[in-house]
Amino acid sequence: MSQIKIAGATVNQTPLDWSGNFQHILSAIKEAQSQEVDVLCLPELSITGYGSEDLFLSNWYPRKALEQVQELIPHCENITVAVGTPVRLGKEVFNGMAIIENQTLIGIVAKQFMAIDGVHYEFRWFTPWPAGKVVDLDFFGQKIPLGDLTFEKKGYKYGFEICEDAWRGEIRPGYRLQARGMDLIFNPSASHFAMGKSLLRENLVRESSELLNAHYFYVNLLGNESGRMIFDGEILLASKGKLLAKNELLSFKDFQLLVETLDEQTGNRAPLISQHVKKEEFTAAATLGLFDYLRKSRSKGFVLSLSGGADSATIAVLVAEMVKRGTEELGLSRFMEKLGLEMELPEKNAQQALVHQLLSTAYQASVNSSKDTYDSARLLANSLGARFYHWQIADEVQSYTRKIEQAIGRKLTWEKDDITLQNIQARARSPIIWMLANLENALLLTTSNRSEGDVGYTTMDGDTSGSISPIAAVDKFFILQWLKWAEITLGYEGLKGVNALQPTAELRPGAQHQTDEDDLMPYAIIVEIEKLAIRDRLSPMDVYHQLKSKLDLDPQILKTYISKFFRLWSRNQWKRERLAPAFHLDEFNVDPKTWYRFPILSGGYEEELKALAEI
């Protein structure tokens, strides 16, 4: 068997950005041609972007996607290119890979299994293709085979498993490809990022190469494509059960290319050993997510209400880290060009100057705010280079309070009106921080985390206000650990003040010594309960039986925590329905638009919690 040079190209696409998407694909093809690649594989739905949602259901959108394929054909001279596109056939839409060989479209392979769990709703848009079926597609007057196809290049037989196809165990298409004698299997994917998922993919690719007795080549989409899901742009090659090649993930570039030469010795190469650090994965994904969201929304920067606490500090550091990573990979000029920035940078501290341009922070003090949190916020903002404003909201709070007191004919007290007096402080902060965001044509960053989303520990139209919620899919316990890591490992010494403080909303009078965990329960316990209750969808009783032997807690206290979690969870679904769009960063999240749907009105687990209390 002769040598064959294959390549995978990950591309950062955007729905409806036809010219931009086309240019990224074309640039990858030209780079592959310059390196004399024989077969180039691009990701699933790379023509349109995976996140096109109900646009796939229209008649015109899949047709225009095929027009883009037609326009691409003349550029594929002396190369075979596989590019992802939707295909409409009658009333049905299919998820396909168009195979262009030396300026000729030779077929379109259709995806056989749809992803329908977690963040995926593919059955809403696409129809699964039956195994073994091939039909003729009218491609602008030319008949093109569409369906379950295989191909050959330089003596190598090759076929495709498209993303979800590979995750179907014993019924996956790969086994049929093996029976048809494939030497090489491509897996073009649109697989969302989640911490720890890269390791799962590596295992899939390694095991697939051994099980299917073929070189296995995986290519994923890249970037924050359309708002919530982030793609890491992973490209992997395995042979004989060994991982042989992997690219750098979560790039700020428009595309990446990984080129590999296959021959009889490929499977004998030494295996590649990769590292997986969850905190590093989170940092890389969140910073790329912020960068793409900023530039694709055509905003001029970010505005953040910086409280001096953990959540807002995490987001401020992520913006600074976005600048650091983006400029180091792209260079200052390209980074600024992609964001549409025009400014003179100093020779020294250019990154800090960019942070100053892109991030405005504000410490909004109430009568219950402390000097410790003010100092913490100011120290962090100054260390990052961010603009730092501070003001008092006491006048606004007093004005609202007086009006309602006059209306109801009595004074508000902390004994009777605790939640009301807390919430008005959070809500009074919202209008002015929105003013700052409007003035700067900037995105207002929301600071809610997943643990708060679980139990509704947030003020609607207060601290939930914002355009994007970068950490809403990450639990508070992880955030607290990440901040300590970021201070030491990433070198953000300005986090010293934040890491020295105990998390608190600072909405009650200081004499009450309010803390988040006193209001709720230890954050580490929330994590354990939410994994079982939300991720694994277990009942309150099942959660108790799972945790009573795992956690060193008095059974009655554990029951109290579980009951509190489920009551607060079911009571606060309406809040989760209104949260700002959030990045999907972990194995699960609580955003009903992407992962976990729950009724806004329900019986609130009353029978289940009564049974728990009685055991």
Q: Tell me how far apart the alpha carbons of residues 265 and 169 are, in angstroms, rounded to a whole number.
A: 29
Confidence of residue 355 (pLDDT cuts 50, 70, 90): very high
Q: Which two structure tokens, joined as six digits, stand for 400?
A: 């609202």
Fold of 280-614: Rossmann fold (3.40.50)
Q: Letter for the amino acid at 538?
A: L
- Identify the DSSP state of 167: G
> What is the arithmetic mean of pLDDT over 273-296?
97
Q: Tell me how far apart the alpha carbons of residues 40 and 25 are, in angstroms, rounded to a whole number.
A: 11
At 193-203, the pLDDT tens digits run 999 999 999 99
At 499-539, the pLDDT tens digits run 998 888 777 888 777 887 888 899 999 999 999 999 999 99
Domain 4-276: give its CATH superfamily: Carbon-nitrogen hydrolase (3.60.110.10)
**Phi then psi dihedrals of residue 26, to 5 deg:** -65, -40
* Residue ranges of domains in the chain: 4-276, 280-614
What's residue 420's pLDDT? 96
Q: Tell me how far apart the alpha carbons of residues 258 and 6 are, in angstroms, rounded to a whole number.
A: 8
Confidence of residue 1 (pLDDT cuts 50, 70, 90): low
> What is the arithmetic mean of pLDDT over 58-64?
98
What's residue 34's pLDDT? 98
Contact (CB, 8 A) for 525 and 561: yes
Contact (CB, 8 A) for 381 and 388: yes
Q: Tell me how far apart the alpha carbons of residues 338 and 295 are, in angstroms, rounded to a whole number.
A: 7
